[in-house]
């Protein structure tokens, strides 16, 4: 384990040192053609495929839940749990670029507010209040979305069995899954180039008629701001809040013990945003813009991001629910790796955009 820790921080140190020789961004503008290509490829290679993947996997989860409700056995419950995790993975990745409709229309908290309001949720389940989809949509954000579903299908401790899920809980699960799917479809449609008023057009016309991004720089600032924001949320929100309180019930996905995977996918999402890439798709990207003017800065950002992702390996498979009590030192090292990445995004990368993207 010491070898892993030393290797991780040697990588970070080398990245910082390698950038120091060329740390001052050039004052020459980036090529306008390349900037336009990045604006075109970001929605094509990342945003639209990622949001479509979320919608598709949410649909699979909805269908898995329906099958479990119709035939409530442990195998079908496990299939629903697996579908939940697969949908989570796609969702957490998109948090690397959490701007636009996902923020403007509150799709994020509607789907992913946490922790669950367990007291009110249990009260709702014991009441006779209607649980149709339209009723779910009127509930507070801590009573619906991913984590309300997680509570039903995993339970406290993550050991829920099919026989323990009541008819009332099944009715709630059915509407929760449909409601979540509906929101993922709204999010997907908001970027869909075939839809009127789509957000893709706001990105591709940045600086050329976009009402959201009146300059190209405004888009790139929003992008790097989102990259930095998720680093801050993971290190100093999702990880720090339960760590400081010494309370694992405050973990993001405590029922499923999926928190470490959530965090990892968040930081992978930062790299996706930087590379304009999802599931292997590649194209013109912010990375390419940076590399065209400052090769060492591009290498530094990619190295630090990969180091932050790899740092979760320090926990060696231990759940975050246990790590906050027994592995505080390793949790701290992971937070340091993410904070180092955040500082580089807010510092060197922001300076690059300010100096080089003028239109």
As a whole number of Å, the end-to-end CA separation of the chain is: 48
Distance CA 65, CA 130 (A): 19
Per-residue confidence (pLDDT) for residue 224, from 0 to 100: 99
For tokens 């930087």, what's the residue?
A: 274
**Residue boundaries of the structural domains of the chain:** 2-356
For residue range 120-151, list pLDDT tens digits in order: 999 999 999 999 999 999 999 999 999 999 99
Among the ranges given (6-15, 152-161, 220-229, 261-270), the one the predictor scored with the smallest mean pLDDT: 6-15
CATH class of 2-356: mainly alpha
Distance separating alpha carbons of residues 58 and 84, to the nearest angstrom: 8
Locus of tokens 């809040």: 241
Going by pLDDT thresholds of 50, 70 and 90, the confidence category of residue 16 is very low
- Cβ(343)–Cβ(236) below 8 Å: no
Q: Which two tokens stand for residue 50?
A: 């990622």
Question: Residue 307: CB partners within 8 Å, gap ≥ 6?
Answer: 8, 11, 12, 15, 337, 341
What pLDDT, on the 0 to 100 scale, is given for residue 359? 85
Q: Evaluate if residue 10 carries a pLDDT over 50.
A: no
What's the confidence (pLDDT) of residue 32? 87
Residue 215 has pLDDT above 60, yes or no: yes
- pLDDT band at residue 58 using 50, 70 and 90 as cut-offs: very high
Check: CB of residue 51 under 8 Å from CB of residue 94: yes
Whether 31 shows a pLDDT value over 80: the answer reads: no
On the question of pLDDT at 13 being above 70, the answer is no
- At 30, is the pLDDT very low, low, confident or very high (cuts 50, 70, 90)? low
Q: Which pLDDT does position 28 carry in this prediction?
A: 46
Position 91 pLDDT exceeds 90: yes
**What whole-number distance in Å separates Cα of residue 72 and Cα of residue 258?**
23
> Is the per-residue pLDDT at 15 higher than 90?
no
Mean of all residue pLDDT scores within the chain: 93
Q: Among 20-34, 216-230, 335-349, which is the least confidently predicted range?
A: 20-34
pLDDT for residue 337 is more than 60: yes
């Amino acid at each position: 384990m010491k070898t892993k820790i030393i290797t991780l921080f040697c990588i970070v140190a080398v990245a910082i040192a390698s950038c120091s020789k060329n740390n001052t961004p050039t004052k020459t503008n980036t090529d306008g053609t390349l900037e336009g290509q990045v604006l075109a490829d970001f929605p094509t290679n990342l945003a639209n495929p990622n949001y479509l993947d979320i919608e598709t996997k949410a649909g699979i989860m909805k269908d898995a839940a329906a099958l479990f409700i119709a035939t409530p056995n442990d195998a079908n419950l496990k299939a629903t749990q697996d579908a939940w995790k697969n949908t989570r993975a796609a969702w957490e990745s998109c948090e690397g670029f959490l701007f636009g409709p996902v923020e403007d229309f509150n799709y994020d908290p509607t789907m992913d507010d946490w922790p669950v309001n367990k007291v009110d949720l249990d009260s709702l389940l014991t009441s006779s209040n209607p649980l149709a989809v339209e009723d779910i949509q009127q509930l507070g954000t801590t009573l619906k979305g991913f984590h309300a579903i997680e509570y039903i299908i995993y339970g406290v401790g993550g050991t829920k069995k099919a026989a323990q899920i009541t008819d009332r809980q099944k009715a709630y699960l059915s509407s929760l899954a449909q409601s979540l799917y509906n929101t993922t479809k709204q999010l997907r449609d908001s970027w869909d180039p075939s839809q009127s008023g789509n957000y893709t057009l706001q990105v591709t016309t940045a600086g050329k008629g976009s009402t959201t991004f009146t300059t190209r720089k405004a888009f790139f600032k929003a992008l790097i701001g989102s990259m930095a924001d998720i680093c801050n949320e993971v290190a100093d929100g999702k990880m720090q809040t339960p760590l400081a309180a010494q309370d694992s019930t405050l973990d993001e996905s405590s029922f499923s013990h999926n928190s470490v995977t959530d965090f990892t996918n968040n930081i992978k999402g930062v790299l996706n945003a930087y590379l304009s890439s999802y599931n292997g798709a590649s194209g013109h990207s912010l990375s390419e813009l940076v590399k065209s003017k400052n090769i060492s800065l591009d290498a530094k950002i990619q190295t630090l991001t990969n180091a932050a992702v790899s740092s979760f390996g320090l926990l060696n498979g231990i759940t975050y629910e246990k790590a906050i009590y027994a592995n505080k030192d390793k949790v701290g090292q992971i937070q340091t790796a993410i904070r180092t990445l955040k500082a580089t995004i807010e510092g060197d990368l922001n300076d690059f955009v300010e100096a080089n993207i003028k239109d």
